[in-house]
Amino acid sequence: MLFTLLKKNFIYPVNQLPLTLMSLKEWSLVYVKGKDDKKYLQNQLTIDINLLVKNEHVLCAHCNFNGKVWSTLRIFHYKQGYAYIVRTSVVEMQIKELRKYSIFSKVTIEEEKNTFLLGVAGLNARSFLLNFFTRVPDKLSPLILEDSRIILFFSDPLERFLLILSKKDVNIFNKQKISKVLFSDSKQWLLLEIESGFPIIDKESSSKFLPQAINLENLNGINFNKGCYYGQEIIAQTYFKKLNKRFLCVLYSREIVSCKIGSIIKIKTQREWLKIGLLLAVVHIREKETQIQVVLNKYVDINSVFKVNDLKNIFFIRKKNLI
């Protein structure tokens, strides 16, 4: 079976990525269903769930009363309800928070543990998938359901796909047709997410930022015209009064740097290193470069120099990916 063949490889830069299958074990699928599922999610998420159509998937956030993001989600219609993809490190806590107010609603919220999430990207990814599926999604129809199999389409930072399969459906891939495909893990997909501008919220960074601080406003992950939801008042006030002073950014070092999620980001001034932000995600690219996604707490000059905690390694702003 395919998921027993997947193994760790070097992480390739986006512009050099060969045809690659990625086991997305750092992401989980959560299923929400019940008579009140739409109404319940409408009161919890930053998007207007009433506007979600069958053939699309949408980025949004689940926030606490103070408007701070528990997690970022990618949500879509699924079976008799809805499903969303969320980081595995935060899924248990996020489900617990989402269930808090469900006692008076007819809704169930469960992690789908019998599914397999698989990323496909790189050279001729679309042609490769057409060997196994009759249709493949695109910008006009970014979600396709074929039998019990779901494919999500992403256009940034390159054409790529996320497959949601039952573990038995993984057998649709035969060894002959995947013999020349690179097998990788979640880190390669993480790099693609970072370069697309998708904010990575893990357990260490959960409930620390307003949605605007992680760029959800510019990614259409917030609807300011819908009714009330948890955190809505503070999020709206921040938007209309232009109070947000943080932004999402990509930094890189020309070395391999061992750093952890939640680490402090410092900026070099004339006199000293000052705290300026927090590290959300880190990827090491082919043992030559470290790329990190960070939230900085004020706008900075694009030529500024940064470091993580008190490590000696220097980081720079990835200008082409400045979010």
Binding residues: 27, 189
Helices (H) and strands (E) in the chain, counts: 6, 17
Contacts from 37-44 at CB under 8 Å and sequence distance 24+?
A: 37/81, 37/82, 37/107, 38/82, 39/105, 40/101, 40/102, 40/105, 40/107, 41/75, 41/82, 42/226, 42/227, 42/229, 43/101, 43/228, 43/229, 43/230, 44/98, 44/101, 44/229, 44/230
First-residue to last-residue Cα distance in the chain = 39
The DSSP result for 239-308, as a single string, is HHTT----EEEEEEESS-----TTPEEEEE-SS-EEEEEEEEEEEEETTTEEEEEEEESS---TT-EEEE
Enumerate the known binding-site residues for folate: 27, 189
**HEC profile of 167-212:** CCHHHHCCCCCCCCCEEECHHHHHHHHHHHCCCCCCHHHCCCCCHH
Backbone angles phi, psi at 218, to 5 degrees: -75, -15
- Strands ordered across the beta sheet of 149-154: 143-146, 149-154, 160-166, 115-121, 20-23, 182-184
